[in-house]
Amino acid sequence: MSFATPFFHSFKSLLFGKPPVSSLKKAMASLPKLTSLAQLRQLFGSYFPAALLAQNRFGHNSRQRIFSQEVTFWAFLDQVLTPLGPCREAVRKIMAWHRFENPRGPIGDMSADTSAYCQARLRLPVQTIKDINTHLVARLQTNTPTDTLWHGRRVKLVDGTGISMPDTAANQALYPQSSSQKPGCGFPLMNLVGIFCMSSGALLAVAKGQRRTHETKLLATLWHTVEKGDVLVEDRGFCSFGIAATLYSRGADVLMRLTEKRCRQAIGSQLPKSGDCDLLITWKRPSQPPPAMSQQEFESLPQSLTVRIVRMDLRRAGFRTQSITLVTTLTDPAITAQELAALYLRRWEIELHFREIKVQLNMDVLRCKNPEMIERELLMHLVAYNLVRTLMQASAASHGVELGRLSFKGTLDTVRHFANAAHAAEGKPRTIQALIAELLLAVARDPNPFRPGRSEPRAVKRRRKNYHLLTKPRHEMGHLPHRKIGRETNPKSPLT
């Protein structure tokens, strides 16, 4: 007999008793415990408000699911923190938990298909991930010790980088590959510009665009992260009158390396031809606006700007003497030229931060196959990076260790193993607190060696295997001889 109305449905319960509850519904009834399946909530759950991932009463994210917003977020984060963690592995963890909680349930009562989990990741609101990252950034900035600031001011580092993603039609449409590559032989490319805090190492904001998008255009979208009193350190790629004047009008200062072209065109006549110098000059506004600025914005800039030029030779044992020319709006004579040069040399720290997030967190090559998920995957990498940075900051503050000496990779490895122990201690608050205290101590006891001026050439020692190069789409390549045979018959191949 069929009962189509709520009235008869209630009579069905009275007449025939309560229907049996499936093990899947039992799991849904204990969703709060399911959030521990990612093993990270015990360590990171207190670093941002739980309300950001709470289930809504009405509308979006109000339906009760196995893959709720909270479950999906922690499972997604676990994928980012785990090297090459596929969706299948995340679903297997959920299945293992499901079997642990229901040891007497029927075998195979939960689907091993990854489709439901992938759909849940797509439902994860982008704004929710952004709000979590914003909260983490604010926490890192608030807990930054004042004695780590530079002359009492917060220094921010900016630079650009590039990442790639799977070669799908949807990704190619939004992030096309390099024009020098043949169709089907390249990968979609994305340009990123990031702003980091030098004191805390926090990734404050990121702007993304196509490979052909100029980095200065992306930087212009991040002005909101530069506050009054900040000092922004840039390399030669961002050196322009427009950027310096814009930041100065916002109450911030800039320190950047002067390019030879601008040194000759704009202010070259006011500089001595050789030797060290430290002087104030007038930088006149150029006749044409930079690529990132409209004509109206450019005309609102002042006609000239008083800047300080510092040129000096950098001498280090074992290295060639290098002459650099810096331009800055920091005209205070109390700040010496040596301090400015030392501050600019710390700009290299942003390269290390990008290496941490691209190599240690595997963001160099994203894995999602459509732009909607690419955006979520990128944001989850930012959240994962700032979460690890928050843990490093807590360790440094608890044990009096310099934050810059702590290892990001070492902290990441420690998190993975202590998260397993915290998961096993679920329901034992004192044990979990003891584990977290031990984790912070382990991170503090393993600092990086102090190696100032160490040379780290960008070179690879281990050679790649001599496979043939893909010169056309894979389905058009046909059969290829063995790579050793190809190497012997084609001695001029670039693979030899």
Q: Can you give the pLDDT at residue 273?
A: 63
pLDDT of residue 318: 65
DSSP reduced 3-state for 101? helix
Higher pLDDT, 13 or 490: 490
Q: How many residues are there in the chain? A: 496
127-360 CATH, one of 1.20.120.530, 3.90.350.10, 3.30.1490.20, 3.90.245.10: 3.90.350.10
Bridge-based pairing state of the strands 304-314 and 322-328: antiparallel
Residue pair 214/159 in contact (Cβ under 8 Å)? The answer is: no
How distant, in Å, are the alpha carbons of 131, 144, 147, 228 from that of 253?
Answer: 28, 20, 20, 9
State yes or no: pLDDT of 188 exceeds 80: yes
**Cα(159)–Cα(243) distance, integer angstroms:** 14
Question: Could you state, in order of their start, the residue ranges of all structural domains in the chain?
Answer: 23-124, 127-360, 466-496
Contact 238, 158 (CB under 8 A): yes
Going by C-alpha positions, the residue among 169, 165, 173 that lies closest to residue 189 is 165
Is residue 69 a contact partner of residue 118, using CB atoms and an 8 Å limit?
Answer: no
pLDDT tier for residue 227 given thresholds of 50, 70 and 90: very high
pLDDT of residue 462: 83
Answer for the pair 434, 395: CB distance below 8 angstroms, yes or no. Answer: no
Q: What is the CA radius of gyration of the chain?
A: 28
The whole-number pLDDT of residue 92 equals 81
Give, as one character, the DSSP assignment of residue 55. P
DSSP 8-state assignment for residue 364:
S
Would you place residue 67 in the very low, low, confident or very high pLDDT band (cuts 50, 70, 90)?
A: confident
Residue 103 CA to residue 281 CA, distance in Å, equals: 77
Q: What is the pLDDT at residue 61? A: 67
Mean pLDDT of 406-422: 87
The whole-model pTM stands at 0.85
Half-sphere exposure of 114 (CA within 13 A, CB side): 13
List of residues 6+ apart from 425 with CB closer than 8 A? 42, 431, 432, 435
Q: Which residues contact 35 (CB under 8 A, 6 or more apart)?
A: 41, 70, 71, 74
- Regarding predicted confidence, which is higher, 48 or 422? 48
* Per-residue pLDDT, 185: 85
User: Is the Cβ–Cβ distance between 152 and 199 less than 8 Å?
Assistant: no
Most confident of 167-181, 191-205, 260-274, 324-338: 191-205
Instruction: Tell me what percent of the residues of the chain surpass a pLDDT of 70.
Output: 79
Rank 23-37, 130-144, 419-433 by mean pLDDT and report only the highest. 130-144
Stretch (H or E) spanning 70: helix 69-81
Q: Where does the pLDDT of residue 101 fall: very low under 50, low under 70, confident under 90, or very high at 90 and above?
A: low
In terms of pLDDT, which residue wins out, 212 or 84?
212
Distance of CA 295 to the CA centre of its chain: 33
